[in-house]
Structures are given as C-alpha cells and as structure tokens.
Chain A
Amino acid sequence: MEAIIIGIAKSAIRLATPYLYASIGETIGQLSGVLNLGVDGVMLMGAFSAFYTVLKTGNLWLGLLVAIVVGAIFGLLIAFINVTLKAEQGISGIGVYIFGLGLSSLLFSTMIGTVQPVNGFPPLFIPGLSNIPVIGEILFQQNILVYGAFALIPLAWYVLNKTPLGLSIRAVGQHPQAADSLGVNIVRIRYFTVILGGILSGIAGASLSIALLNVFQQNLTNGMGFIAVALVYFGAWRPKTVLIGALLFSTVNAIQIWVQVKGINIPSDFTLMMPYIVTIIVLAAMAKRRIHPPAALNKPFERGE
C-alpha cells in the first residue's frame, strides 16, 4: 500500500508540473484583464524549440532558454493583438493556439522529421531531504523543472499580494480607469503580464519535451493548455487554489491509472472520466462562493470611457 501511495503522489507531482507553469502564467495575465486561450499553442512552440535545441546541442539549459525566448516572442505577439490592436480575446487566443499547433508541427516535420528521444533533465536528489522516508522519495527526487513549478506558487503569491507590481497588476484588471488616473501604465502592465504568461507557457512545454517525456511529437501537449486555462477559473485567480486544482486533477488521474493497473473492476471509460468528474463536482460546489473574475477581464482598455 505504501508503494502505491508513493507511486500516486509521484505521478501526481509529475503530471501537475506543466499545468502549474501554464496556469500561473495565465492567472497573472487574467488578473491584469487579458484572457489568453492560446496557451496550448505557446506550450507546443516552447516544447518544440526546447527539444530541437537539446537535440542539436545537448545543452539542456540552452534548450530551456530558447523555450523562454520563444514563449516571450509569442507573448509579445498575443499582447500586441489583444492590448494594442484590442482584438476579441477569446477568438484571437484560438487563432494563436492553431498557429502554434500548426507551426510546431511544420517545424517538427521539416527540421526533425521523425520521433526521437533526447536525454532530459535528470532527477535531482536534494541532499539531506531526499533520504527522508516516503516524503523524500515523493518530493525530493524529481527533476529541476518540477521543483521550479512548485517554487513558482509562493513566488507568484508573494509578487501578486505583497509587492507594488502585484497591486498594479490587480488594479489594472479590476479598475483600469482608476489605475490609469493614478498613473499606472495599463498598456505596459498588460504587455508585461502577457509576455510573462508566454514565457511560463514556453517553460510548461519545455517541462514536457526535455524533462518529463523527453520526446517531441506533433500536438505533444494534447490540449493541456486548455485544462490550464480551466484551472485558472478553478483556482479563482489565486496561486494557492490553482495549485490545489492542479494537484486534485493530477492526483485523480494518477489514481485512475492505479485503479486500472491493479485490475479493479471498473470500466476504463469510467475511470478515465474521473479527473473531469471530480473537477466539475468541486467547481459546482465552489460556485456558491461567488468568486467573480477580474472585472476588466476580456475588456480592452479605452481611456476616458
């Protein structure tokens, strides 16, 4: 039984990693009032560019850096479309998703051509902590990008709640007019949050292609970016509850794999639904808490309205 619990916990942590990067990035963007549905496309571009770099150079850190740069470029593109051109955010996001999906597939076909593995980030045993029974094995024998994803949660919480920058971001998403009159540069804040979101989506993709799976294939993310956007709503725009949501979804997914492996007699069609059913139940239960999205979400800023 202990082995199963350790197995479930380790799986859940691995599965949650890409969601955490992408969801935190999306949370920050949405708090500033920009909805980006193109997360999955940016993840794919990050995954491809990191993978390609590692395949050609063998340098994992360079791969991560390239994913960050590609994510930032996509973030800049999204910010330009949504903030400067004031496009309909839901629609433009789908456009970015399809663009990222298509471009990453095309580049993969032309530049690599076939599925092949790379050596990704190896597990990093934290000295002293990795030897603790059970906990050590679960938490402190993961790879660096997994640690990074979990370190991101308190960092995002701190920046959003305890710094002037965080206050500006939230003000821009809640009361852009008021923020503007107090001298906050709305456009600059939104460019910053959306580019940061792009960077984190790029890292989310890289966490798959050069740390967890160590391969690239067309549509490697398989729609994870959309789950990441859903987790932002689930987490009510708070890093801590986004973490809970990501872990809940991943843990139930890990459990359902174990249910199948152990041959427990539940049809696989049903076990596969479990993560989604649990998420919907929790969302429905939380609906009573009446958490409203940022007031200016999805609304381009017009001065003097």
Chain B
Amino acid sequence: MMKLKKIIIVLTLISIFVLSLGFGASAKPFRVAFIMPSSINDFAWSQSMYEALLTIQEEMGKENFEFVYSESMFIVADAAAAIRDYASEGYDLVIAHGSQYGASLTDIAPDFPDTSFAWGSTANVFTDLGITNIFAYEPLAEQGGYVNGVLAAKLSESNIYGVIGPIETGDAKRYTEGFKAGIKSIRPDAKINVTWIGSYSDVALASEAAQTHIDAGADVLTGTSQMTVGAIGVAKQRGALWFGYDVDQSALAPQNVVSCVDVVWAVALRPMIEMIQKGEKGGKIFTLNLANGGINIIVNDQALVGKTIEDIVNGNIQVKVE
C-alpha cells in the first residue's frame, strides 16, 4: 500500500515537472515588432527584412517566434509613435528599419530598459549616450556593389553605365561606390554616370532617370531602393541590363536582371536574438558582408544566357560543326 502511494506521488511529481517544462517553453515566445518606411512587398529595403523575419520564424518555429509590423512609416514622427507603442506592449525586440529612426530611438530606448531596439543601416549604438539597449546592423553594401560592377564591366558593350540612387547616404552611397570601383578594376576607362533622385519612392523620376541614362548611351543600369521598380521596367523595355540590390529582383525582368545583391538580415538577427535571450539588451553592431553570408550575390542565368538558348531552340542560331 505504502509502495503504491509512493509510486503515485513520484508519478504525480514527474508529470507536474514535465507539464511545467512544457508550459514554460510555450508560454513565452520571442516577440518582435518591425517598423519600416515602405512595405513588405517593395522589392527592396523593407521586403528584405520581412523575408529575414520569416526565415527566423521558420527556424525557431511559429510557437517560439512571433512578429508584427507597421508599414509606410516614412514620416519619422509616426514611426516614433509606433516604436513607443510596441515598446510599451512589451515586445522583446523592436526593429526600426531605417537610418532616419536613430534620433527617435535615443529618446525612446532609455524609457524601456527591458526592451531591445535595433536599427540600421548604421554603426551607431549610442553607448556614448549611456544607452545599453540598442543594437545596430550594417551591410557592407560596397562589397556587393563591387561584385556587380565587375560583372557589369564584363558585359557592357558601350562601356557606359547608369546608376540611379535615391539619396546620397547610407547603403545607397556605399553600394554606388562599390559598383564604381568594381567597374574601374576591370575597365579603368569606363564612363559611370550617377543620378540621385532625392527620394526613395519617386518611381516616375527614377524611371525617367533610367530613360536618360540609356539616351546618354548606357547599356547597363543599377540602383537601390523601392523606386527602382520603374527603372527596371525601362531597362526591360529598352533592352538594357539591370543590376539589383536588397532582394532578388529578377522576377520583374527575367531577361534583363543579371545579378542582385541580396541582403540577408537573418545573419544579424540570429546572434542578436541569442544575445537578448541571454539577457544582453544592446550595444553591439552587426556587420553583414560576403564573408559571413550577410551579403549574397544572386546571379540570374536567364539574363546571361537565356536569349542565346532561346535563339538556338527557335532555330534563329544554327550551331554548325565542321
């Protein structure tokens, strides 16, 4: 009798222990809020971070990783309100995805010491201001730009290149410098024309800049930010080659988009989340580069050889053997 009682007590204790473990694991998923200036389907800056969060969610499981987001937060004051709301709702990590949000974070972060904040592209985590809960992330866009430039120099016939940049700062500036250096390393006499649009979202002006570059002799175009979707359309229409940044843009013009610099933000997010789970709230800058896989080059073979294959299939090209 005593023995049975003992067994029951032990079993009960074990089951309570197991149950509590199970509940402990499922009770508190890691929660992320993501604030972006454009939208999750912009084919550029915001979409790349959205895709990274989906990747992390897949890796950690939906029950362990939740995220919410606010789109079209281009106005910094709106974004600041959203950042503060999310922080007060107790999210583990609030990602303010834009270099324009830095000043707001220095105001908000000290009020929420239990929340981590992350922003970029930047190398500033504000530890000099005594703030300890801000992370930063920064892709070395120039490395990707360099690779694109080398390939562009090998493919261009006119040796004239057009760059359609948004605002001369951050990723866009780094990418453009890299692209120029890559071209010059192969063809030092190259003519590289650079236009800045003064906006991340002016699709019409970016498209007109693409027209102008082609009118000026360029047969290779590149550019960054969500406004470039119009320029890619012009490249397609007028038969120029396009080199992309942020995400794989080849779906927009499979015959023209040669290679894209894919920014893999997950490379920064994984160690960041690990640190937060260990209780470190900020203070670290995560750099993304070719070496750590944070920058990835996606080459679209269809733009490189698709036309030739098609011509052979159609019989437009007859390959003769003597």
Contact = CB atoms under 8 A, between A and B. Distances in A.
Nearest to B231: A213
Which 7 A-B pairs rank lowest in CB-CB distance, beginning with the nearest? A268-B196, A272-B198, A7-B215, A260-B195, A114-B41, A261-B193, A213-B230
Interface string A99-115: 00000010001000111
B140 to A, nearest CB: 23
B64 interface: no
Contact of B211 (A3, A11, A260): A11
Q: Interface size for chain B: under 10, 10 to 19, 20 to 34, or 35 or more residues?
A: 35 or more
Given A115-B229, A215-B230, A261 B216 contact: yes
A217 B41 CA distance: 9
B162 to A, nearest CB: 7
A69 B197 CA distance: 33
B212 to A, nearest CB: 5
A94 B38 CA distance: 21
Interface stretch (B12-20, B141-149, B202-210, B304-312): B202-210
B63 interface: no
Interface in B213-267: 213, 215-216, 226, 229-230, 232-233, 236-237, 251-253
Given A117-B236, A215-B233, A220 B213 contact: no
A254 B193 contact: no
Contacts of B212: 7, 11, 254, 257-258, 261
B39 interface: yes
Contacts of A260: 193-196, 209
Interface in A70-125: 105, 109, 113-117
Interface residues of A, number: 39
Interface string A23-55: 000000000000000000000000000000000
A253 interface: yes
A77 B41 CA distance: 30
A109 B203 contact: no
Contacts of B205: 15, 253, 257
Contact of B208 (A114, A115, A224, A257): A257
Contacts of B233: 117, 213-215
Contact of B41 (A6, A109, A220): A109
Interface in A1-18: 3-4, 6-7, 10-11, 14-15, 18
5 contacts: A14-B211, A208-B203, A212-B204, A215-B229, A260-B209
B177 interface: no
A14 B215 CA distance: 14
Nearest to B40: A109
Interface string B173-199: 000000000000000000001111111
A218 interface: yes
A292 interface: no
B42 interface: yes
Given A105-B72, A116-B251, A268 B168 contact: yes
Given A260-B193, A272-B196, A217 B204 contact: no
B201 interface: yes
Contacts of B137: none
B193 to A, nearest CB: 5
Contacts of A212: 204, 207
A269 interface: yes
B43 A115 contact: yes
A254 B211 CA distance: 10
A262 B193 contact: yes
Given A14-B208, A272-B198, A218 B252 contact: no
A222 B215 contact: no
A254 B208 contact: yes
A217 B42 contact: yes
A11 B38 contact: no
A168 interface: no
A219 interface: yes
A224 B199 CA distance: 13
A234 B125 CA distance: 47
A133 B217 CA distance: 20
A125 to B, nearest CB: 15
Contacts of A7: 211-212, 215-216
A3 B252 CA distance: 29
Interface in A190-237: 208, 212-215, 217-222, 224
Nearest to A101: B72
A304 interface: no
A263 interface: yes
Given A11-B212, A261-B193, A261-B213, A222 B230 contact: no
Given A7-B215, A109-B39, A113-B41, 9 more contacts: A115-B41, A117-B253, A215-B203, A217-B42, A253-B205, A253-B208, A258-B216, A261-B216, A272-B197
B30 to A, nearest CB: 26
Interface string B150-164: 000000000000100
A15 B193 contact: no
Interface string A252-278: 011001101111000011001000000
A263 B196 CA distance: 11
Contact of B203 (A4, A222, A257, A268): A222
A218 B37 CA distance: 11
Contacts of A4: 215-216
Contacts of B43: 114-115
Contacts of B237: 214
